[in-house]
Structures are given as structure tokens and as C-alpha cells.
Amino acid sequence: MNFRRVNRKMMYVLSFMACILLVNVGGLIVSHADENDVIIKYRTYTNNSGWQDDAEQGGDCAVDSKEVITGMKMMVVMSEDVTIDGTVKYSVYSKESNWSQEVDTFSKASSGDNAIKAIKAELTGTLASQYDIEYRACTSDNQWLSWSKNGVVVGNIDGEANIIAIQAKINKKVEEPVTLPETGTTPDSGAVILPETGTTPDSGVVTLPETGTTPDSGVVTLPETGTPEVAPGTSGNEAMEAFVNKAVSQKGQTRNAEGNTVYGEWWAARVGNSAFKDAKWCAMFLSWCANEAGISEKTVGYFAACSHWQEFYQNNGRWHAKDGYTPKRGDIIFFDYDGDGSANHNGVVESVSGSKVTALEGNVNDYVDRVEYELTNNTIIGYGDPDYANNAANVEADKQQQQQQEETGASGQAQRILEVAENEIGTRERSDGWTKYGQWYNDNIDNGGFAKQAWCAMFVSWCADQTGVSRDVIKPYASCWYGLKDLKTRGEYHEASSGYQPKPGDIFFHQFKSNGSGHTGLVEKIQDAQICTIEGNTSNSVDRRTYPLSTSKMKGYITPKYN
């Protein structure tokens, strides 16, 4: 046998393997993997039974309900031909030891000997730009919590239930459809494709609607909000035509040199949150068009999130599932790209012809564009049917509401929700932690064992429900953290540090603790430089409290869009 030849061959093999290893470790090759080429593997640990069997990609990793999970591991697994830079990092929470140290790649995240009540996980590197990680937990009262993703906490931080099972999965990020404007071609280096009647602006400045002018330095001025295209009070086909025509007039619009859209800047100014300036903007585009066309929010809905538009039509009996419904001009078309039943893109129907529907949409390849679909397209989830016939009455109601707010400082519903809350003062939780507010939430919103959980958020939600406040305005919430995040998309948010003076009916939120817990309630009035509130779960009861206007306790305030 020629050992020299064998050794040389072995050297080649080892060199090749070393190259492959370096590529995998360094993440030097970035490939576009198929759906099943990247998965998540995970396992849980109990002090009595040790490590449980591995689960992967949505499978249950559970323990006996008599045991408690005290540790967790996660690991991203890629097929042999896929190498993407990045990993998963994760941590766990227990009441006794707070959040564990963040670890990655099948290292143990541990709560010591304490029961885990919450988890969070997120991807890193290039992996995070191509994929989402989703996860949820089952609590010791045998209730699965909703899916969370990409670092958002899931669990039961404020309650008594522990986690007894987890599920996790990795999915490719969902992108909105890419189509090119009919009159343009793929832009080079971010060049702007303009409406048919436009000309190329300097430095990437966005061409403005007819009511605006091109400002210096690429800054976009907002159109005057008080000059709608159609006189307020127009109803029926005239209102619908004004809305659709306004959308058509925006075809070709895109971001300005700062990366913002005129629609995002309008919404950011409207709700007092600059984060919307450069956010995904298909929903804000439609809201802006409706406002410009003199269409009441009560008629069509104004939202920054497509899922909230969907809820608006479902809650008002004006939602039509795709199957069996023929859309018409002026309908809002909704798309679901990830198959979870919740809309993540929308547009306004311009026309329907034969088996095809044509819509005007924002944020299509980062432009406003006209897109045609087969009516049977599997991403279309349904349609909203705006109440154009009652637009005149809705606009008049808007005027009266605005006048009332200016005169009293509080809207009718704001005053009524405070009356409901005031009638609850003195109501206490039972010795076992049960409250009627938690029971109501458990029976009507989420059957997740909420009857004996911390209840300040559920008190606010209950008051809103008893007042008749639409869930499009105040969606019931049991967690302060989730509640604030959601309400920011539905109402006007004001940071406490901005000097904002809260109004009667505002919802306040305290600064969050390191474990994510917080406190919430209703602002009753401002008196003698004091914020007077009505709040639940204050010394285990509903009670009034006062805070200095300058208090550092407050994180911010939501002004809901009360009727």
C-alpha cells in the first residue's frame, strides 16, 4: 500500500472539510433557503425529570402539570447546503430570579429551582433579516397563550400560572408583493418612479399631491387637512368616487430622501408618534386618502395596521370573506400572506372585470401602484364594505364630537367611562385573588385563567366594554405592556416626559419594571397640578389616586378615539 498517496489524499479531504467548517462558522455564505431548510429545535428541563425530549418546528415540548419547567434550550438547525450567519438567543423569567442571562445555541437558560413564567427569543445576524422566530407557551391551567415573535415576551409574568409547555417555529419573513408601476421600470439606486403626469425631482424628493409644494432639502410638507377634495357631508357614490380618485392620484408616490412617506408623516403627526414616519405604510396610505377625500373615520376606518382595519369591518358587520362575494369599486381589499387569518396588506378596489380585480395599494415595492389579481388569488382573505351611504351623517357627527371636546375637555364616551369607573370605587378582589373584571375577561376575551390574575388592565378593559366603547378603539388587554403597544396603533400616544397634560378619559401607563410588568388606569381630571386617576388593583381594590404632573412614575398616556 502506498501510504504517501493515502496521506496526500487524506490531506486534501481534511483541507476541504476545514474550508466547509470555516464557511459555516463564519457565516460567509448567505443562501436563500427553502422553508424547511431552517428550523428551530428546543427542549425543556425540570428539576425532577431532567431534560425532556427535543421538539422542533411547532412541536410540543411539555412536562407533567405537577412539575415546573426551570430551564430551556434552543438551537437553529440548517440543512447541509444552507449556511446563514446568525443564531437564536433566548432567556427565561421567574418571579423569584427575574430574567435569566441571555444565552444562545443550545446553552441552558435557567431560572434556578424556580418555575418559569415567561420566555422570549430572537434571531441574530443575517438570519434575523430573512426569518421570524415565533413561540408560545401553555400555562399550568392548561391554556395556550397567543403566539409571540422576535423578542416579544410570552408568558404570565403578573399571574400565578407557570409554563408547562412551549412551542416554537421559524418561518421565512413575509414580504408584500412586488410589482412595477405600469408606466415605469425597475428604478436604479432608489430612483423615484413618478406619476404619469410628473417629472423627475431632484435628490429623490417625493412629488407631492396637488395640494402640496416641493419643500427645500427633500422635506415633504403635509397637505392641508382641512381642505378635503369633496365637501364634507357627501355620501354614497360621490364619497366613494372621491376616495378612489384620491388613491389613483397618488400612483407612483414613494419615500422621500429621509426614507419617510407623506402618509407616515401625516399619521405620525396625528397620533404623536414619529416611529410611523418610515413604517410600513399601506394602511396609512388608505387612511390618508380617506381623510383627504372628506371620508369620515366612522365610514371607512382610519388605521395604521391592516389587521385593525379587518377587525373594524368584522366588528361592524361589513366584512365579506373572499369566497362567494363579488367585490365592487370602493371596497377595501385585504391580503393574508402568512396564512394566519390576519390581514397584513390592503388596498382599495378600483375595478372588477370578469375574473379579475384591480386595486390601488400603498407600499407595493415601496410605491403606490395599481395591481391586478385573479378573484381566486389565494392571498386575498376578504373585503371591507365602507358605509359610504351614511358618510354625510358620520361627518356631521364628527363635527359635533369635536365641538363637544373643545367645550368640555372630554368626549361623551370619555365622560361615561369615568362614570362607570367611579361606580366601581371600593370594589375589592376576593381573598383568593378573584375579581369580576378578570372573570369577565376570561369569559369573553381569552379563556386563559385570568379570573385570579393581576387586574388593573382588565379593569380598564371592562369599563370600556360597559361603556360601549368599540373594540376598534380600546381592544381589551390583560397585560400593560401589550396593551400600550396595541393602543399606540389605535389612539394618540403622549410620552409623559414631553410635558403633555393628560385629559379626562385618557389611559395612563406607569413606567415598566425590568420584568415587563406595569400599571394602568384612567385619568379622571387635572386639579391643582395633580393628576387624579381611577384605577384597579390598587391595594387590591378600585380606588382614586393622585400624582404630581411632574411624576416620574408615568411612562405615557393614550387618548382613545372616543365617540
CA distance 150 to 534: 35
pLDDT band at 7; cut points 50, 70, 90: low
Of 244 and 29, the structure prediction assigns the larger pLDDT to: 244
pLDDT band at 355; cut points 50, 70, 90: very high
Report which DSSP code applies to 192.
P
CA distance 315 to 327: 19
Of 233 and 385, the structure prediction assigns the larger pLDDT to: 385
Identify whether the C-beta of residue 16 lies closer than 8 Å to the C-beta of residue 60.
no
pLDDT (tens digit per residue) in 151-175: 878 887 666 778 888 999 998 876 4
Percentage of the chain surpassing pLDDT 70? 79
pLDDT, the chain, mean: 80
CA 66 to chain CA centroid, Å, is 35
pLDDT at 302 over 80: yes
- Per-residue pLDDT at 517: 74
pLDDT band at 42; cut points 50, 70, 90: very high
pLDDT (tens digit per residue) in 247-277: 999 999 999 999 999 999 998 887 666 878 9
Identify whether the C-beta of residue 136 lies closer than 8 Å to the C-beta of residue 166.
yes
Report which DSSP code applies to 338.
S
Average pLDDT over every residue of 521-527: 91
The DSSP result for 414-474, as a single string, is: HHHHHHHHHHTTT-B--TTS--HHHHHHHHHT--SS-TTS--HHHHHHHHHHHHT--TTTS
pLDDT (tens digit per residue) in 372-399: 999 999 999 999 999 999 999 988 877 8
pLDDT band at 439; cut points 50, 70, 90: very high
Tell me which of 105-119, 185-199, 289-303, 424-438 is least confident: 185-199
- Per-residue pLDDT at 121: 92
pLDDT at 305 over 50: yes
- Per-residue pLDDT at 25: 40
- Per-residue pLDDT at 199: 28
- Per-residue pLDDT at 372: 95
- Per-residue pLDDT at 292: 95
First-to-last CA distance in the chain?
Answer: 92
pLDDT (tens digit per residue) in 124-143: 888 888 888 999 888 877 77
pLDDT (tens digit per residue) in 58-111: 888 877 756 789 999 999 998 877 778 889 999 998 888 888 888 888 889 998
Average pLDDT over every residue of 219-225: 31
Q: Is the pTM of this model over 0.85?
A: no
CA distance 219 to 199: 18
- Per-residue pLDDT at 447: 85
Give the CA distances from residue 528 to residues 532, 547, 548, in Å, rounded to whole numbers and listed in that order.
10, 11, 9
pLDDT at 245 over 60: yes
pLDDT at 8 over 60: no
pLDDT at 321 over 90: yes
- Per-residue pLDDT at 189: 29
- Of 286, 278, 396, 294, nearest to 331 by C-alpha is 286
